[in-house]
Amino acid sequence: MSDAVRIFAEHAPDYHALRRHLVPGLDAFYDTAADLLALRAGPIARVLDLGAGTGMLSAHIARRHPDVALVLLDGAAPMLAQAQRLLAPREVTVIVADLRDELPDGPFDAVVSALAIHHLDDAAKRELNARVLDVLRPGGVFVNAEQVRGPTAWLEQRQREGWLEACRREGASEEELAGALERMAADRHTDTETQLRWLRELGYADVDCFYKRWHFAVIAGWRAAAS
């Protein structure tokens, strides 16, 4: 078990409350990610949630697409158990696996992720983006709601300061912020523009950043529809 998986497994019971304190504008962040699935015409019947955690993003998607079949993948079994409770009585498929592992068989109408892929280094992020494209149906979308690095050192520092102040307004304690900063020391954030460029180079279409607040961004790209 990796350090990141161990830490998140330990925090599974209180993860929802903690995330609301540490993601200022959490509802807008998740709502934007979920809303992107409906931008292109076509059914949303099957969705893969990578690093699904306690199922927060999947819950937002399920409210918009009541008949969707959800496949949740995460390395921490306790997080997936929380997700099953959150999404009940809906039946969901859960897979305990690492983001570096082989993805479940497609095709998926959407592959989504929230605050998970930044635990990978750049090479592994790009390689995962390529594997996601392979399991999307033509016209399917990849939505990554993620923590990103500022494009310059000055903006990175201002971004961090702005985030801390916004967290305090959301009710985060100094102990919670200290714990978050300690966990973030092992994160491997990549700036937004680099991630957009990767998607375009891999062959995704209509790539853009649809939300940005401090170091939280929602990035998406579509697999080109069959001609």
For residue 127, what are its two tokens? 């390689």
Phi, psi values for residue 158, rounded to 5°: -65, -40
DSSP 223: P
Confidence category of residue 92, pLDDT binned at 50, 70, 90: very high
Flag whether pLDDT at 45 surpasses 70: yes
Mean pLDDT (the chain, rounded): 92
The least confident of 22-26, 69-73, 191-195, 203-207 is 22-26
Write the pLDDT tens digit of every residue in 152-164. 999 999 999 999 9
Nearest to 112 by CA among 51, 67, 64: 51
Question: Alpha-carbon distance 39 to 96, whole Å?
Answer: 30
Side chain identity, residue 122:
D
Residue among 108, 145, 142, 126 nearest 33 (CA)? 145
Query: Would you say residue 12 has pLDDT above 70?
Result: no
- Following CA atoms 170, 65, 115, 162 in sequence, which dihedral angle do they give, to the nearest 10 degrees? -30
18: pLDDT strictly greater than 60: yes
Rounded Cα distance between 126 and 130, Å, is 6
What structural domains does the chain harbor?
3-222 (3.40.50.150)
Residue 2 has pLDDT above 70, yes or no: no
Helix axes 174-184, 153-169, angle to 10 degrees: 150
Structure tokens at 50: 């990578």
Mean pLDDT of 60-65: 96
pLDDT tier, 19 (very low <50, low <70, confident <90, very high otherwise): confident
pLDDT score of 117 more than 80 = yes
Q: Return the pLDDT at 211.
A: 98
Burial class (CB in 10 A: 0-12, 13-18, 19+), 83: buried
Query: Which pLDDT score, from 0 to 100, does residue 9 have?
Result: 47
Task: Number of helices (H) and strands (E) in the chain: give both, helices first.
Answer: 9, 7
Three-state SS annotation for 18-54: HHHHHCCCHHHHHHHHHHHHHCCCCCCCEEEEECCCC
Q: What's the pLDDT band for 15 if we cut at 50, 70, 90?
A: low
Please give the full DSSP string across 98-163, using - where no structure is assigned: -TTSPPPP--EEEEEEES-GGGS-HHHHHHHHHHHHHHEEEEEEEEEEEE-B-SSHHHHHHHHHHH
Task: Give the pLDDT band of residue 14 (cuts 50, 70, 90).
Answer: low
CA dist., res. 193 & res. 179, Å (int): 28
Mean pLDDT, residues 13-39 taken together: 88
Q: Which residues contact 134 (CB under 8 A, 6 or more apart)?
A: 103, 106
The answer to whether residues 133 and 204 touch, using CB atoms and an 8 Å cutoff, is yes
For the question of whether the overall pTM of this predicted structure is more than 0.85, the answer is yes
